[in-house]
Amino acid sequence: GDNLVDPILGKELCVLAWAAEEATDDVLPIVCTRWSALRPEERWWLFSMTSAEAGLPEDRGRGWRKALRSALCDGEKSAPRPRPVESRTGPHLFGDLQ
C-alpha cells in the first residue's frame, strides 16, 4: 500500500530510534527530551551522517550510532535553568510603548 509517512519524518524518527535502541526505561525520557530539543535540520543532518556510516541493522553500537546514543542518552534530565535577569544600561528599544 501507500506509505503516508513523510520521508523527512521517517528520517527524524530513525534518529530517535537509533538513540533509544539500547536505552533503559529510565533513560527514555531523557532521550526524547533531547531529541525534541533538536531542530529538524539538525535531526536531518544527524540522519545523513549516521546512515552513511552505520545505518545497517548490524551496525549497532559503532560510529555515528554510538555517538548519537551518547549525545542523547548521557547524563541526567536537568531541570530548566532560570533565565538570567537582564540589566539595562542604555535606553530601552520599546520603552515608550504602553
Choice between 85 and 78, residue whose per-residue pLDDT is larger: 85
The most distant pair of C-alpha atoms in the chain lies apart, rounded to whole Å, by 63
Q: What is the pLDDT of residues 69-81, one digit of tens each?
A: 999 987 665 566 6
Cell 527530551 belongs to residue = 33
Q: How far is CA 44 from the centre of its chain?
A: 10
Query: Residue 32 has what DSSP assignment?
Result: H
Q: What does the pLDDT look like over 13-27, one tens digit per residue? A: 999 999 999 899 999
pTM over cut 0.75:
no
Q: Computed from CA positions of residues 23, 71, 7, 51, in that sequence, does the dihedral angle turn out positive or negative?
A: negative
Domain ranges of the chain: 7-73
Whole-number Å distance between alpha carbons of 91 and 13: 46
* CA atoms in the 13 A half-sphere facing the CB of 22: 13
pLDDT exceeds 70 at position 84: yes
